């Protein structure tokens, strides 16, 4: 099947929905520059050279050779190269050489599934060299653990969760890791947000063993020595291959207008499957993955779901099924972004424009591996950033990679690792730890986890259970979801759980509808009840957000406006919910229902506070419409300038002109900080969005947000544009007046 024929068939079928392919970009294959033949690598042992040739490696790429030499010289490096260009061999070959010389390595993968997935690939090279390889994770039986403690493998494969808990809870594991000479962190693009902050703390704890050599790799981040030192706490060099893939890829942008992206994704996936293609649909919402799979069944395609919150057994069934051809379609969240081997895929559909260009490339790299043509379809609808790129389709593919965003000062992360370190040591001295750790220990003391007696910090009985139950992929409390029988059917992290699991919400689990009967924030429990699957409506929360306090860490002027960045305390209040017709307009609810007692959750995170001027021509309502719309459009602009996801940032606007934009996770993710640093660019994107839309005075293509707590009321595109134009062109010197009034949204 030719690529032109397939695209014409796709456009023909999508014409039923009045949808067209807006732009096609062909990514041609590009091999990295060639290096030496392996026979010329005299610094490698002969038996390793023979093993490489036996496995089809007769010549290295130039970047591989550079990386191998630097690693063997004891340098810490970050390897950057595109999909399928041989990053793994760049660190595996020196690790094998180390093993032949009696040195041990630890390979750390972002997930347990990916770690186990790499085992066979590594053993293919190691088995005939007499090099031992072992996987150590939560599923490793005690007998295998004991064997590794007694006779450590030359290459230990694990994940950061295991490193964190093992260092904290097992002296035998500490000794196992302490003896390693090399630590490899693969797929480093996964270490953003909360997980990135934890990786920095884990690296700090590993360095307590002495000077460590760290190697990391990725294909899709903006790499710099500064990023390496921020993530790992040591100096490192960058080794670059090519950012292009080895195979050809056809990237298509679809203009779906106001059509349902879930329906179109399901329809397109079903069509491609019937054409004989293996298809992976990406979405950024667990509920939307379920919905896409459910809708696809109505189009005659059986699509399975792969997401967080389902059991590992279910995920393995899906992974094995697509790899062995038992299923031909998956709807997934970011769980399949990483390099888990699920066989060859022909097409990737992105139901939403991914949060960043880094994530776009990572997901697109799933299609057409092993020198096959890959098809990538991205649905662009009527939201502000989709509309922005439909006007500038070439710019979509010319974007720069964004750096990893994470906040190493996240106090919730610091609490976990300070507690873990205290468990490991038995006691700590106040004067011997950093100031931010002192702050973390004072919070732990308030919670009864530790006792501070003068200079000495000691654990209480509560500390061990706290560390044992700690997670490095989240910072907020976890709500466990129970069905009527008392069975656990899922979990969600606060604060996002508040907006999914409010009373009477419709919630999807395994393609089935459930209604939320109750939520108990004190006991972190929600109860759901199965209802019929053919409901003709869905629900959205009605909520408000409130800035309770801000502790300023940095401040600066942006176009003359005072902007503060710091620790913010936020109270989220769910006041009720709105019911929408499944096939009706997204901006007109059927009914709004309010609770007698609102549900509230208060937490601390990082955010920025901007003071906008009240223009002389604005009355009170005009000003509120301008400020609320500007809040929305700045959050949208953060997707372009800071690589923010749809739900990474939240906002509040006030009649006084103050706008708060904050990280949506407890403790902060680093996205708000990057927006603070790039706010001038965000205002320029916001000006483009508000000036280019052809609507009367506000619509989903410019200022509406699907996450607005008051359903997009009190908004004006024209007034927001007037405000932003005045700010960016007249450079007003705005005084930092006191915040007043109730939140507009």
Tens of pLDDT, residue by residue over 693-724, are 889 999 988 999 988 888 889 999 999 999 99
Average pLDDT over residues 212-218: 94
Q: Write the CB contacts of 16 (distance below 8 Å, at least 6 apart in sequence).
A: none
CATH number of 478-537: 2.40.10
Task: Give the integer Cα–Cα distance in Å for 177 and 185.
Answer: 14
Question: Of all helices (H) and strands (E), which one includes residue 629?
Answer: helix 620-641
Asked if the model's pLDDT at residue 273 lies above 80, the reply is yes
Question: Of all helices (H) and strands (E), which one includes residue 303?
Answer: none
Task: Give the integer Cα–Cα distance in Å for 535 and 126.
Answer: 55
Task: Give the integer Cα–Cα distance in Å for 495 and 490.
Answer: 16
pLDDT given for residue 244 in this prediction:
66
Asked if the model's pLDDT at residue 340 lies above 80, the reply is no
Asked if the model's pLDDT at residue 543 lies above 80, the reply is yes
Query: Long-range contacts made by residues 305-311, C-beta under 8 angstroms, separation at least 24?
Result: 305/330, 305/331, 305/332, 305/510, 305/511, 306/330, 306/331, 306/332, 306/333, 306/335, 306/336, 307/332, 307/333, 307/335, 308/333, 308/335, 309/490, 309/491, 309/492, 310/490, 310/510
Average pLDDT over residues 230-234: 93
**Structural class in CATH, domain 3-28+245-397:** alpha beta
Model confidence at 202, in pLDDT bands (50, 70, 90)?
Answer: very high
The span from the first CA to the last CA of the chain, in angstroms, equals 51
Q: Give the CA-trace dihedral at 670, 671, 673, 674, to 10 degrees.
A: 120
- How far CA 210 is from CA of 144, 178, 182, in Å, comes to 28, 9, 12
pLDDT given for residue 307 in this prediction:
83
Average pLDDT over residues 251-257: 95
Task: Give the integer Cα–Cα distance in Å for 517 and 501.
Answer: 9
* CB-CB contact of 183 with 213 (8 Å): yes
SS3 content of the chain, % helix, strand, coil (to 5): 40, 25, 35
Three-state SS for 164? helix
Asked if the model's pLDDT at residue 745 lies above 90, the reply is no
Q: What percent of the chain lies above the pLDDT cut of 90? A: 68
Verify cis geometry, omega within 30 degrees of 0, for the bond prior to 495: yes
* CB-CB contact of 498 with 602 (8 Å): no
Kindly give the pairing relationship between strand 279-282 and strand 347-350: parallel
pLDDT given for residue 403 in this prediction:
77
> How does DSSP assign 118-131, residue by residue?
THHHHHHHHGGGT-
Segment 78-127, tens digit of pLDDT: 999 877 788 999 999 999 999 999 999 999 999 888 888 889 889 999 99
Task: Give the integer Cα–Cα distance in Å for 163 and 177.
Answer: 8
> How does DSSP assign 217-259, residue by residue?
EESSS---HHHHHHHHSS--EEEE--SS-SS-EEEEEEEEETS
Q: What percent of the chain lies above the pLDDT cut of 70? A: 97
Average pLDDT over residues 536-548: 92
pLDDT given for residue 246 in this prediction:
65
Tokens at 328, concatenated: 């031909």
* CB-CB contact of 321 with 304 (8 Å): yes
* CB-CB contact of 414 with 445 (8 Å): no
Measured in whole angstroms, the distance separating CA 75 from the mean position of its chain's CA atoms is 29
For 555, half-sphere exposure in the C-beta direction (CA atoms, 13 angstrom radius) is 13
Average pLDDT over residues 515-526: 96
Average pLDDT over residues 186-201: 91
Task: Give the integer Cα–Cα distance in Å for 231 and 407.
Answer: 10
pLDDT given for residue 245 in this prediction:
65
* CB-CB contact of 94 with 61 (8 Å): no
pLDDT given for residue 711 in this prediction:
81
* CB-CB contact of 482 with 526 (8 Å): yes
Three-state SS for 310? coil
Tokens at 137, concatenated: 């994770």
Tokens at 552, concatenated: 């300023």
Model confidence at 308, in pLDDT bands (50, 70, 90)?
Answer: confident
Fold matches, 3-28+245-397 and 34-240:
yes
Question: Of all helices (H) and strands (E), which one includes residue 342?
Answer: none
pLDDT given for residue 614 in this prediction:
92
Beta strands in 100-172 (DSSP E): 105-108, 133-135, 155-158
Tokens at 740, concatenated: 């007043």
CB atoms within 10 A of CB 148: 18
Q: Write the CB contacts of 234 (distance below 8 Å, at least 6 apart in sequence).
A: 76, 203, 207, 212, 214, 228
Tokens at 560, concatenated: 């003359």
Task: Give the integer Cα–Cα distance in Å for 386 and 513.
Answer: 30
Asked if the model's pLDDT at residue 736 lies above 90, the reply is no
pLDDT given for residue 535 in this prediction:
86
Average pLDDT over residues 554-576: 95
* CB-CB contact of 441 with 452 (8 Å): yes
> How does DSSP assign 5-66, residue by residue?
HHHHHHHHHHGGGT-EEEEEEEE---PPPEEEEGGG-TTS-HHHHHHHHHTT--EEEHHHHH
Among residues 34, 81, 42, 87, the alpha carbon closest in space to that of 62 is found at: 34
Asked if the model's pLDDT at residue 4 lies above 90, the reply is no
**Of how many residues is the chain composed?**
745
- How far CA 384 is from CA of 296, 391, 606, 689, in Å, comes to 27, 11, 25, 6
Asked if the model's pLDDT at residue 38 lies above 90, the reply is yes
Model confidence at 404, in pLDDT bands (50, 70, 90)?
Answer: confident
**What does the angle CA 468 – CA 472 – CA 475 come to, to the nearest 5 degrees?**
100
Three-state SS for 292? helix
Kindly give the pairing relationship between strand 249-257 and strand 374-381: parallel
> How does DSSP assign 477-506, residue by residue?
PEEEEE-TTS-EEEEEETTGGGGTSSTT-E
Question: 562-592: string of b/e by CB count within 10 Å (b at 16+)?
Answer: bbbbbbbbbebbbbbbbebeeeeebeebeee
Residue 77 bridge partners (DSSP) = 215, 237
* CB-CB contact of 119 with 157 (8 Å): yes
CATH match of 34-240 with 3.20.20.150: no
Task: Give the integer Cα–Cα distance in Å for 601 and 595.
Answer: 15
pLDDT given for residue 369 in this prediction:
64
**What does the angle CA 653 – CA 655 – CA 661 come to, to the nearest 5 degrees?**
15
Task: Give the integer Cα–Cα distance in Å for 174 and 113.
Answer: 23
pLDDT given for residue 519 in this prediction:
97
Least confident of 203-207, 249-253, 561-565, 581-585: 581-585
pLDDT given for residue 1 in this prediction:
60
* CB-CB contact of 323 with 342 (8 Å): yes
pLDDT given for residue 629 in this prediction:
97
DSSP code, position 455 = T
Task: Give the integer Cα–Cα distance in Å for 83 and 62.
Answer: 16
Segment 131-182, tens digit of pLDDT: 999 999 988 999 999 999 999 999 999 999 999 999 999 999 999 999 899 9
The structure's pTM equals: 0.84
Model confidence at 587, in pLDDT bands (50, 70, 90)?
Answer: low
Domains of the chain, residue spans: 3-28+245-397, 34-240, 411-468, 478-537, 550-730
Segment 457-503, tens digit of pLDDT: 999 999 999 999 898 988 889 999 999 999 999 899 999 999 999 99
Model confidence at 77, in pLDDT bands (50, 70, 90)?
Answer: very high
Three-state SS for 609? strand
Fold exhibited by the domain 550-730: Gyrase A; domain 2 (3.30.1360)
Sheet holding 478-482, edge to edge: 488-493, 478-482, 525-530, 512-520, 506-509
Radius of gyration of the chain (CA): 26
pLDDT given for residue 359 in this prediction:
87
Segment 417-449, tens digit of pLDDT: 999 999 999 999 999 998 889 999 999 999 999
Asked if the model's pLDDT at residue 371 lies above 70, the reply is no
Segment 621-656, tens digit of pLDDT: 999 999 999 999 999 999 988 888 888 999 999 999
């Amino acid at each position: 099947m030719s690529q032109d024929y397939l695209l014409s068939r796709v456009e023909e079928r999508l014409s039923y929905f009045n949808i067209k392919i807006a732009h096609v970009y062909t990514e041609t294959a590009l091999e990295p520059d060639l290096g030496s033949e392996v026979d010329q690598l005299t610094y490698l042992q002969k038996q390793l050279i023979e093993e490489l040739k036996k496995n089809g490696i007769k010549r290295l790429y130039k970047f591989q050779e550079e990386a191998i030499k630097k690693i063997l010289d004891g340098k810490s490096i970050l390897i950057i190269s595109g999909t399928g260009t041989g990053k793994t061999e760049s660190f595996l070959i020196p690790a094998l050489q180390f093993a032949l010389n009696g040195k041990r390595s630890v390979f750390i993968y972002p997930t347990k599934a990916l770690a186990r997935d790499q085992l066979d690939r590594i053993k293919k090279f190691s088995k005939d060299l007499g090099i031992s390889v072992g996987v150590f994770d939560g599923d490793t039986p005690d007998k295998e653990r004991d064997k590794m403690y007694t006779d450590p493998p030359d290459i230990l494969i694990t994940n950061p969760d295991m490193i964190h808990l093992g260092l904290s809870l097992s002296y035998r594991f500490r000794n196992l890791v302490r003896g390693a000479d090399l630590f490899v962190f693969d797929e480093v693009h996964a270490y953003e947000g909360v997980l990135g902050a934890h990786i920095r703390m884990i690296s700090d704890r590993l360095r307590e063993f002495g000077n460590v050599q760290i190697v990391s790799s990725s294909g899709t981040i903006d790499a710099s020595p500064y990023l390496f030192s921020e993530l790992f706490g040591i100096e490192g060099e960058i080794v670059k291959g090519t950012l292009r893939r080895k195979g050809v890829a056809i990237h298509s942008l679809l203009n779906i207008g106001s059509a349902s992206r879930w329906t179109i994704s399901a329809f397109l996936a079903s069509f491609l499957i019937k054409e004989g293609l293996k298809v992976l649909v990406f979405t950024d919402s667990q509920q939307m993955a379920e919905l896409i799979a459910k809708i696809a069944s109505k189009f005659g395609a059986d699509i399975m779901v792969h997401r967080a919150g389902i059991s590992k057994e279910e995920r393995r069934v899906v992974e094995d099924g697509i790899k062995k051809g038992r299923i031909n379609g998956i709807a997934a969240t970011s769980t399949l972004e990483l390099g888990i081997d699920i066989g060859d895929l022909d097409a990737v559909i992105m139901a939403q424009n991914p949060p960043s260009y880094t994530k776009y490339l990572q997901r697109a790299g799933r299609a057409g591996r092993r020198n096959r043509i890959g098809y990538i379809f991205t649905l662009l609808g009527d939201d502000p950033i989709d509309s922005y790129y439909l006007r500038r389709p070439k710019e979509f593919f010319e974007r720069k990679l964004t750096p990893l965003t994470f906040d190493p000062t996240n106090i919730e992360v610091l609490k976990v690792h300070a507690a873990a370190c205290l468990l490991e040591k038995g006691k700590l001295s106040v004067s011997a730890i950093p100031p931010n750790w002192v702050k973390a220990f004072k919070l732990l003391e308030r919670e009864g986890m530790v006792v501070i007696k003068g200079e000495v910090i000691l654990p209480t009985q509560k500390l061990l259970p706290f560390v044992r139950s700690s997670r490095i992929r989240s910072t907020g409390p976890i709500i466990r979801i129970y069905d009527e029988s008392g069975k656990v059917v899922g979990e969600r992290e606060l604060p996002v759980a508040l907006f999914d699991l409010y009373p009477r919400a419709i919630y999807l689990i395994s393609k089935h509808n459930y209604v939320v009967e109750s939520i108990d924030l004190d006991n972190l429990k929600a109860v759901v009840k199965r209802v019929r699957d053919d409901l003709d409506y869905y629900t959205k929360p009605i909520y408000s957000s409130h800035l309770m306090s801000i502790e300023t860490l940095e401040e600066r002027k942006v176009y003359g406006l005072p902007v503060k960045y710091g620790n913010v305390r936020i109270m989220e209040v769910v006041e009720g919910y709105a019911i929408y017709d499944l096939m009706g307009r997204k901006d007109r609810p059927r009914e709004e229902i309010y609770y007698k007692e609102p549900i509230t959750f208060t937490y601390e995170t990082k955010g920025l506070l901007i003071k906008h001027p009240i223009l002389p021509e604005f009355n009170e309502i005009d000003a509120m419409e301008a400020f609320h719309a500007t809040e929305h459009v700045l959050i949208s602009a953060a997707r372009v300038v800071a690589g923010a996801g749809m739900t990474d940032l939240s906002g509040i606007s006030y009649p006084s002109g103050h706008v708060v934009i904050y990280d949506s996770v407890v403790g902060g993710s680093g996205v708000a900080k990057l927006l603070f640093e790039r706010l001038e660019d965000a205002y320029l994107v916001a000006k483009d969005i508000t000036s280019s839309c052809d609507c009367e005075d506000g619509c989903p293509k410019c200022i509406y947000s699907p996450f607005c707590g008051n359903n997009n009321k009190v908004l004006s595109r024209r007034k927001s544009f007037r405000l932003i134009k005045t700010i960016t062109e007249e450079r007003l010197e705005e005084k930092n007046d006191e915040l007043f009034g109730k939140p507009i949204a």
